[in-house]
Amino acid sequence: MKFNRFILANLFRKKIRLILTVGSFAVALFLFTFLAVVKSAFSRGTELAGADRLVVINRAGLINTIPLSYRDKILQIKGVKAVTHNNWFGGVYQDEKNFFPQFVIDPENQRQVMTEMRVPDDEWNNFVKDRQGAIAGAGLAKRFGWKVGDRIPLKNALYGPTKTWEFVLDGIYHNDHPGGDESQFWLQWKYFDETVPSVIKSLVGWYVVKLDSPDDSVSVAAAIDKGFANSSTETKTETESAFAAGFAKQLGNIELLILTIGGVVFFTLLLVTGNTMAISVRERVGELAVLKAIGYPDLYVLFFVLSEALVIALIGGLIGLGLAVLAIPVVGAALRGLLPPLLLSVGVLSLGLAFAVFVGVASGLLPGIGAMRLRVVDALRRV
Amino acid sequence: MAIPVIYNFRSVKARWTSAIVAVLGIAGTVGVFVAMLSLARGFKATLVSSGSVDNAMVMRAGATSEMTGGVGVDAVKILQDAPGIARSSDGPLVTPEVVLVAPIPLISTGTDANVQIRGVSKNVLQIRNKVKIVEGRMFQPGLNEVVVGKNANKSYAGLTLGNTISLGNVRWLIVGVFDAGGSSFDSEVWADAHLLGPAYNRPDTFFQSVTVHLVSPDSLQQFKDAVTSDPRLNVDVTREIDYYSKQSTRLTTLITVLGGLIAAIMAIGAVFGALNTMYSAVAERGREIATMRALGFGGPSVVFSFVIEALLIAFVGGLIGCLVVLPLNGLTTGAMNLQTFSHLAFAFKITPELLVKGIIFALVMGFVGGLLPAVRAATQPVAQALREL
């Protein structure tokens, strides 16, 4: 480490250039982190989906209902541990802009199936007893400043004439998975089923099935669909992750878009730093030649150039990541309701840093090798 | 006295490697900027062109989209007699519609997409007069036949002329392909409303929305007043074009906000690249500049010359960025309409105006990146610069 001062002195030789190059790194890393976070927000539903859960929907499409009577038949299939059913409620809270998913749930079984969504027992017991009770995700409650005990009116035009349904918030659920969904609103099946017009009574939107073991998912899914084949309502059963992935895919090919932008950024960044390193090596060809002339081995010269590039990359990278840590909560708040929560993981941060180091080394390599191969006589003659 | 522009051309040529870096940085930024905006525009244009100023949509009061609405057959009968509706030889131009979503696999990925299925009246082509049958024929009322939009025909598996598909518990013969002028209807499948509901075990007396053709765009108010003041009805009336432009807001906002943020961050990076290039250009040319100034070129003309050089680099970058994304124009892609959860095919829409915006964006980046180095070039002490090696 006896060359620390030498490398530092070289770094600060052109302060503006140093700032700009570090700045480009910071910008690129910031963008990289931002894109990675957005991408993971889109695919989180798929990643966090329970491997031991199946979703059963009407073969004719998600918006079509399934008879409540299917529940018992599904429960009889071997490998099924618990079944809950949900309906889409589709109410409006104050204004259309305040969209959030509202599910009619089966209080007896929801907690056995959706094990990662936790509600304190006392709150849950109040909810089960309260016909007009509701449970909200922690994120949702925070978004509108709801507290347990609040009255929440939802206007609904889906079931019979438009009317306002009143709910009382009995509890708040938290998701065990970091970044997992905390944006849902749950209401009671009984209240729903009593209130809707008779033609849609005893019809559920979809079933969620908890399995004894994730290994059975294929066979149980096939058994469920086979059981209802050729009936008036055929079913389509998929693992929860396949279901979520199918939904996410229709949003458009976000992944390709993000990879393309990321690729453009990566390429540009490599060019910018490579160019800067090349300029700074070109400018001091004479010095490098002198170093070699007084006896420094070729590898040392390569080492000087590479470490300079690496230091720039690390400083820039750290600044970019730091900015991302500060900015992403703000951006996430601005996009609330449009995107799932933006969540910065340690994995993304370390990947970003690795990415910075890689670009640093790559950009220093060409000029470094050039400097290493330099013939002293030519270089000294050049000026 | 101005420094000839040819000097800038030559100096860019002499330092082409660093010029190329700046050019590519700006090109990438402009490319992303134009591509994101064209995506948002294309989506919006597709939905907005679905609506017509001559049509009005009637939905249950409070419904936020067709999917959440409901209008009974009694209400439809009252609506048919309302003032302001255009009439043809076979009655009022009113189409009560059943709107559903059915899973049909995408040809591109093989995964199911939620395709919008619309039950319409037999005179729907007179009401949505931009829609034309381009292959085959219109469905026969009372028969299990459907017509498919031209994007649906291309994007989803099995929606070809002569094929049959299963919707609800009935099989339907595809008898025609229609062109709806690039609107969202092009991603839809249309059938007889009276048959579609029952196929999904729904009563044939219940519809999601009613679209009426007005005598003229100005008749909306007359129609709306009559309908909303009628105590037997509990409905909202919207001009069709307003309904569809509202439908596009959520996804358009998402793309614009995300795209804007990304382009802004990239712009900062590109300006850094341009600054770096121009600063090195100034540094490498210290003696040259000093010589020019010793010859009598004033400070302002040196600044002007360097800014021109930066703008030149930026312009080329902007041009390349625009050219690279230009082939995206008209490219069809799919996305989900976040209001109805149905899949919608739409095309990137790159307009000349968008390209001009891209170039202006590039020039702004070039100006910001060139000004400071130019000022530095002009303020360097001449004697000292000449003495430097």
In 3-state terms, what secondary structure has residue A333? helix
Full-model pTM:
0.74
* Residue pairs spanning A and B at CB distance below 8 A: 152
**Strand duo B170-179 + B145-149: pairing:** parallel
Q: What's the mean pLDDT in B124-148?
A: 93
Lowest mean pLDDT among B175-189, B245-259, B300-314: B245-259
**Closest-CA residue in chain B for A39?**
B258
| Cβ pair A371, A288 in contact under 8 A | yes
pLDDT at B15: 76
DSSP state of A181: -
| Cβ pair A112, A50 in contact under 8 A | no
Q: Which of B322, B329, B317, B325 is nearest to B364 (CA)?
A: B317
| Top-confidence residue, A276 or A108 | A108
In 3-state terms, what secondary structure has residue B380? coil
pLDDT at A39: 80
Q: Which residue matches tokens 């003495």?
A: B387
pLDDT > 90? residue A83: yes
A152: Cβ–Cβ under 8 A, 6 or more apart, which residues?
A: A93, A134, A136, A146, A166, A167, A168, A169, A185
Q: Which of A225, A129, A226, A127 is nearest to A185 (CA)?
A: A127
A157, B60: Cβ pair inside 8 Å?
yes
DSSP per-residue letters across A201-231: TTEESEEEEEES-GGGHHHHHHHHHHHTTTS
Query: pLDDT-based confidence at B339, cuts 50/70/90?
Result: low
| Cβ pair A288, B289 in contact under 8 A | no
Q: What's the mean pLDDT in A207-232?
A: 89
Is A229 an interface residue toward B (CB < 8 Å)?
no
| Cβ pair B381, B71 in contact under 8 A | no
CB burial of B343-380 (b: ≥16 within 10 Å; e: otherwise) equals bbbbbbbbeeebbebbbebbbebbbbbbbbbbbbbbeb
Q: How many CA atoms lie within 13 A of B329 on its CB side?
A: 12
| Cβ pair B157, B106 in contact under 8 A | yes
Which residues does chain B have within 8 Å of residue A285's beta carbon, measured at their own beta carbons?
none
Which residues does chain A have within 8 Å of residue B168's beta carbon, measured at their own beta carbons?
60
A96, B64: Cβ pair inside 8 Å?
yes
Q: How many residues does chain B have?
A: 389
The minimum CA-CA distance between B106 and chain A, rounded to whole Å, is 9
pLDDT digits (tens, 9 = 90+) for A290-345: 888 888 888 888 888 888 888 888 999 999 999 999 988 888 777 666 667 777 88
DSSP per-residue letters across A144-162: HT--TT-EEEEEE-SSSS-
Please tell me the distance from the alpha carbon of residue A144 to that of residue A337, in angstroms, as a whole number: 11
Question: What would the 3-class secondary structure string for B332-376 be?
Answer: EEEEEECCCCEEEEEECCCCHHHHHHHHHHHHHHHHHHHHHHHHH
Q: What's the mean pLDDT in A354-382?
A: 82
| Cβ pair B222, B150 in contact under 8 A | no
Q: Which residue matches tokens 């007699």?
A: B81
DSSP per-residue letters across B3-50: PPHHHHHHHHHHTHHHHHHHHHHHHHHHHHHHHHHHHHHHHHHHHHTT
Helices (H), B98-159: 124-127, 150-155
Residue type, B123: N
Please tell me the distance from the alpha carbon of residue A220 to that of residue B204, in angstroms, as a whole number: 36
Chain centre distance of CA A282: 44
Which residues does chain B have within 8 Å of residue A340's beta carbon, measured at their own beta carbons?
none
Q: Which of A275, A338, A104 is nearest to A204 (CA)?
A: A104
Which residues does chain B have within 8 Å of residue A64's beta carbon, measured at their own beta carbons?
100, 200
A157, B261: Cβ pair inside 8 Å?
no
DSSP per-residue letters across B250-261: HHHHHHHHHHHH
Query: Based on the number of CB atoms within 10 Å of its own CB, is A319 exposed (0-12), middle (13-18) or buried (19 or more)?
Result: middle
Q: Which of B323, B350, B320, B348 is nearest to B334 (CA)?
A: B348
Which residues does chain A have within 8 Å of residue B64's beta carbon, measured at their own beta carbons?
92, 96, 157
pLDDT digits (tens, 9 = 90+) for B98-135: 988 888 888 877 778 888 899 999 999 999 988 999 99
pLDDT > 70? residue A52: yes
Beta-strand ranges (E) seen in B206-358 are 206-207, 209-213, 235-239, 332-337, 342-347
pLDDT digits (tens, 9 = 90+) for B22-36: 888 888 888 888 888
| Cβ pair B149, B188 in contact under 8 A | yes
Q: What's the mean pLDDT in B135-164?
A: 93
pLDDT > 90? residue B176: yes
The minimum CA-CA distance between A355 and chain B, rounded to whole Å, is 17
The minimum CA-CA distance between B90 and chain A, rounded to whole Å, is 32
Is B266 an interface residue toward A (CB < 8 Å)?
yes
pLDDT at A336: 67
pLDDT at A119: 92
Average pLDDT of chain A, as a whole number: 85
Which residues does chain A have within 8 Å of residue B284's beta carbon, measured at their own beta carbons?
279
The minimum CA-CA distance between A31 and chain B, rounded to whole Å, is 7
B262, A251: Cβ pair inside 8 Å?
no
Q: What's the mean pLDDT in B182-203?
A: 88
A319: Cβ–Cβ under 8 A, 6 or more apart, which residues?
A: A22, A25, A26, A29
Between positions 147 and 186 of B, the ones with CB within 8 A of A are 167-169
Q: What's the mean pLDDT in B139-166?
A: 92
B269, A155: Cβ pair inside 8 Å?
no
**Preferred mutation among B272, B313, B328 to probe A, highest tally of A CBs within 10 A:** B272
Please tell me the distance from the alpha carbon of residue A138 to that of residue A171, in angstroms, as a whole number: 9
Start-to-end CA span in chain B (Å): 27
Which residues does chain B have within 8 Å of residue A267's beta carbon, measured at their own beta carbons?
24, 28
Return the structure tokens found at B250.
């959520």
Is B14 an interface residue toward A (CB < 8 Å)?
no
Query: pLDDT-based confidence at A254, cuts 50/70/90?
Result: low
**What residues does each domain of chain B span?**
5-48+249-387, 62-233
Q: What's the mean pLDDT in A346-371?
A: 86
Chain centre distance of CA B115: 19
Query: pLDDT-based confidence at B389, cuts 50/70/90?
Result: low
Which residues does chain B have within 8 Å of residue A92's beta carbon, measured at their own beta carbons?
62, 64
The minimum CA-CA distance between B27 and chain A, rounded to whole Å, is 9
pLDDT more than 70, % of chain B: 97
Which residues does chain A have within 8 Å of residue B254's beta carbon, measured at their own beta carbons?
335, 338-339
**Preferred mutation among A15, A271, A382 to probe B, highest tally of B CBs within 10 A:** A271
pLDDT more than 90, % of chain B: 30
* CA distance readout (Å), B213 to A178, A212, B147, B194: 52, 57, 21, 20
Which of A27, A96, A264 faces B31 most closely, judged by CB atoms? A264
pLDDT at A197: 85
Q: How many CA atoms lie within 13 A of B141 on its CB side?
A: 7
A60, B280: Cβ pair inside 8 Å?
no
| Cβ pair B7, B245 in contact under 8 A | no
Which of A60, A157, A335 faces B68 most closely, judged by CB atoms? A157
Lowest mean pLDDT among A74-88, A285-299, B315-329: A285-299
pLDDT > 60? residue B310: yes
A20, B70: Cβ pair inside 8 Å?
no
Please tell me the distance from the alpha carbon of residue A77 to that of residue A227, in angstroms, as a whole number: 9
In 3-state terms, what secondary structure has residue A369? helix
Q: What is the ipTM of this complex?
A: 0.70
**Preferred mutation among A15, A18, A21, A27 to probe B, highest tally of B CBs within 10 A:** A27
**Closest-CA residue in chain A for B203?**
A199
Which residues does chain A have within 8 Å of residue B273's beta carbon, measured at their own beta carbons?
24, 268, 271-272
Which residues does chain A have within 8 Å of residue B336's beta carbon, measured at their own beta carbons?
250-252
Is B21 an interface residue toward A (CB < 8 Å)?
yes
Please tell me the distance from the alpha carbon of residue A340 to that of residue A145, in angstroms, as a whole number: 18
pLDDT > 60? residue A1: no
A161, B68: Cβ pair inside 8 Å?
no
Is A346 an interface residue toward B (CB < 8 Å)?
no
| Top-confidence residue, B77 or A254 | B77
